[in-house]
Amino acid sequence: MKQNEGKEMAKAKTPGRSSYHHGNLRDTLIDAAVQLVEEGGPDNVSVREAAKRAGVSPGAPFRHFSNKTALMTAVAEQAMSRFRSEITNAVENLATDDPIERFAAVGIAYLRWAIRNPTHFQIISTRSLIDWDSSESLRHDNEAVRSLMEGSMAEAQRRNMLRSDDIAETQIAARALVYGLARMYIDGHFAQWAVAGHTEEQTAQNVLKHFVTLIGK
């Protein structure tokens, strides 16, 4: 797994006991969990190990997180909030009212965020690690991102800009493509698949842009 998270998701440093005394134990445990995933994958995480990294007693974290799933869900909530902000900002800063371009901006921002934050992308993408159904925060942020996609496709359909009338399938195809490209990048597949003259990230983005050209008339 890549270790170079983006600035907004800077790699967690091993926290010390002072973090707890300043009342930041919850955030310190979240940072510790991210570090543990980076070092050995999700199986490397436990509430007790996070407590050890935080420099507190094994029982202290359980006031915040009853189990590993609760801890990982908190990590996912933090990540999803920042993921949503990345995509929302990309759409708001787009200098066009073209709904297909807006749809593309969502995908490019998704891909960019996943590439720069591979650990957090893995956590929010692996539903078995988190309690999705109990987290209003996760569902709310996910729905906000999905609404941007669906709104763009609906507008493009109203303006007769799409090749297909089945916008649901178009959205699923786009979601599958951007997710697959992100996983290919994170798992190192573009070492073999990157197009000559382009970086791995440029290749992934260009493939997504190519897809977008195919859905419009």
pLDDT at 98 (0 to 100): 96
Q: What residue spans define the domains of the chain?
A: 7-63, 68-215
pLDDT of residue 63 exceeding 90: no
Q: Can you identify the CATH homologous superfamily of domain 68-215?
A: Tetracycline Repressor, domain 2 (1.10.357.10)
pLDDT given at position 68 = 95
Would you put residue 46 in left (φ > 0), alpha (ψ -120 to 50) or beta? beta
Cα maximum dimension of the chain: 62
Q: Can you spell out the DSSP letters for 107-122?
A: HHHHHHHHHH-HHHHH
Mean pLDDT, rounded, of the chain = 89
